[in-house]
């Protein structure tokens, strides 16, 4: 496998990991270009457990990143020490990471993922559930807050904050919601929806696909 870039993402990267948290890894690889010329297209994603790792083929990665998918995008914004494999082509990808950004896709992606977290919380009722369910509820709640915060910061500054400055604030919020105060999660979501609506963004209307495609074609030529 021609790995271009890989690193540790998720709770460990955000500073939200606890003793029982898994270490999640994400990476990008490139198939030999000739594999795309046959009858059957090659597999674009490989997922393994123990260790938990997802590898996306570079073409698929670019498509996901152009949609501002939060999980996929964070690979290009990790603190340097969290990269486990970093090639020259991977460094070039990081250097053009802002080319993937656009205002509507960023807003829709981050608030969309946050809304999905809220729906998971809402389906769990009034908080009168098992300790294990409360743990999952706390996790979904803190990631709801994290998605809202990261998305908004990206929207107004053009920078994605991976390592959270105040992780305890997110952890405490998750615990409060897990104790039964689901309304806090709804208020959080509504608060950030209003902030997005009122904010001035530095992001362009559309991503710069020309720059992205130029890099992708360079990768294809490298592995021709």
> Looking at per-residue confidence, does 73 or 179 come out higher?
73
pTM across the whole model = 0.90
Task: Look at residue 213 in the predicted model and tell me its pLDDT.
Answer: 97
Interacting residues of 219 by C-beta distance below 8 A, sequence separation 6+: 4, 30, 58, 89
Query: Between β-strands 24-30 and 52-57, what pairing exists: parallel, antiparallel or unpaired?
Result: parallel
Task: Look at residue 129 in the predicted model and tell me its pLDDT.
Answer: 54
Contact 118, 183 (CB under 8 A): no
- Kindly state the average pLDDT of the residues 148-167: 96
Q: Which residues pair with 85 in a beta bridge?
A: 6
53 pLDDT band (50/70/90 cuts)?
very high
**What angle, 0 to 180 degrees and rounded to 10, lies between the N-to-C axes of helices 167-178 and 182-198?**
130
> Looking at per-residue confidence, does 73 or 122 come out higher?
73
For the chain, the structural domain boundaries read 2-100+208-222, 103-198
**What angle, 0 to 180 degrees and rounded to 10, lies between the N-to-C axes of helices 209-222 and 88-95?**
180
Provide the CATH number for the domain formed by 2-100+208-222 in this structure.
3.30.460
- Kindly state the average pLDDT of the residues 184-196: 92
126 has pLDDT over 70: no
132 has pLDDT over 80: no
Contact 67, 96 (CB under 8 A): no
- Kindly state the average pLDDT of the residues 16-31: 89
94 has pLDDT over 80: yes
């Amino acid at each position: 496998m021609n790995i271009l870039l890989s690193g540790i993402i998720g709770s460990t990267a955000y500073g939200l990991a606890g003793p029982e948290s898994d270490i999640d890894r994400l990476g990008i690889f490139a198939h030999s270009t000739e594999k795309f010329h046959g009858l059957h297209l090659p597999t674009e994603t490989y997922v393994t457990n123990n260790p938990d790792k997802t590898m996306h083929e570079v073409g698929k990665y670019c498509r996901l990143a152009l949609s501002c998918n939060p999980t996929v995008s964070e690979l290009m914004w990790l603190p340097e020490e969290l990269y486990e494999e970093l090639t020259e082509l991977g460094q070039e990808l990081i250097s053009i990471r802002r080319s993937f950004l656009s205002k509507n896709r960023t807003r829709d992606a981050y608030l969309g993922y946050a809304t999905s977290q809220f729906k998971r919380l809402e389906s769990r009722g009034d908080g009168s559930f098992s300790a294990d369910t409360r743990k999952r509820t706390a996790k979904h709640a803190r990631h709801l807050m994290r998605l809202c915060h990261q998305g908004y910061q990206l929207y107004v500054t053009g920078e994605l904050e991976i390592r959270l400055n105040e992780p305890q604030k997110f952890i405490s919020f998750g615990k409060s919601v897990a104790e039964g105060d689901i309304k806090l999660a709804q208020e959080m979501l509504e608060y950030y929806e209003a902030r997005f609506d009122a904010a001035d963004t530095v992001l362009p209307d559309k991503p710069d696909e020309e720059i992205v495609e130029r890099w992708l074609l360079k990768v294809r030529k490298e592995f021709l």
